[in-house]
Amino acid sequence: MITYLQAIVLGLVQGVTELFPISSLGQAVILPTVFGWDTLAQAQSQPESFYLAFIVGMHVATATALLIYFWSDWRGIIAGFFRTIGHGAQERKMPWSVIRNVDERMAWLLVVATIPAGLMGVAFEHVFRVTFAKPLYAAVFLMVNGMILLVGERFRRRSEVKAVAAGHGTYAGTDNRRLETLEFSEAVIVGVAQVFALIAGISRSGITMVVGLVRGLSHEDAARFSFLLATPIILAAGIYKLPDLFGPLGNGIRMQVLVGSVAAGIAAYVAVRFLMKYFETRTLTPFAIFCLVEGAVCTVGFALTGHTF
């Protein structure tokens, strides 16, 4: 089972790494093995386990922290969504065809981006978890994640250089697109990209930010869209698995889940505040380096200690 110390450590790690582009799922697979928590490590790839029930609470806490931090955004987005429903009904048109302001457009961008991730997540989550939720896989894909972040930054930098050469912008990023100018087709691409985060080691926030950067968003807007998009998906994942927590899998760990969830919620709120400030002026490169180093060290360590794919 899970001790209270393990619950606090895993909650703090979950809260931070769900938002930092270093793969919360990858860390959840790697850390129990590194710390020698054999019971948790063995539960990773089981079709049903108490550890998965524990993670449910962490998801709900993280999503709650994001809702609180972005509540002013969500208030406008939710109102905008229902306004388009009303206007569409009055005008006998599809809701997304009567968009009149930024909040309404953001609402439908998020809906469009959430649908593919939700459908494919339900379809493939079990297969991906059973197949890839192993320490050596997670370590290898953590290196892949680092390379994805570096490639995203390289594309972004090349775009800035071209913009400066053409006289359309500066290295300060004045040529950045506004978030609300994303096309619906681009939002779908962002949503589909999230599916790769079902693989332990690939970061949901990282891969969605990279797509945003490649499409011309600033780091700050790419992060904002990534976190707004993550909120309903993380919350839905938690609610979808909530019966596990109150069923047999949750027996003996519910208080630990509560403690871990508090830790995760606090950590997630601090993390999102830090990252939104950080991405005003900085890049994904430090996170890429972290993933490459951690992934390489863990790959060698796990291979030497007999872990296999």
- Listing DSSP states for 25-92 in one string gives HHHHHHHHHHTT-HHHHHHTTSSS-HHHHHHHHHHHHHHHHHHHHTHHHHHHHHHHHHHHHHHHHHHT
pLDDT score for 237: 81
The whole-angstrom separation of Cα 73 and Cα 123 is: 30
Question: In this structure, what DSSP letter does residue 22 have?
Answer: S
pTM: 0.90
**Cβ-contact 207, 197 below 8 angstroms:** yes
- Residue 236's pLDDT is 86
Closest CA relative to residue 144, chosen from 287, 291, 21: 291
C-alpha to C-alpha distances, 100 to 90, 106, 257, nearest whole angstrom = 14, 11, 43
Amino acid 162: pLDDT? 67
pLDDT of residue 133: 79
| 10-residue stretch averages of pLDDT, the chain, 309 residues long | 92 96 93 84 69 85 96 97 95 92 95 86 71 88 98 87 60 64 93 90 96 94 96 87 82 92 98 98 97 97 83
Q: Pick from 8, 41, 56: which is nearest to 243 by CA?
A: 56
Cross-strand bridge partners of residue 177:
217
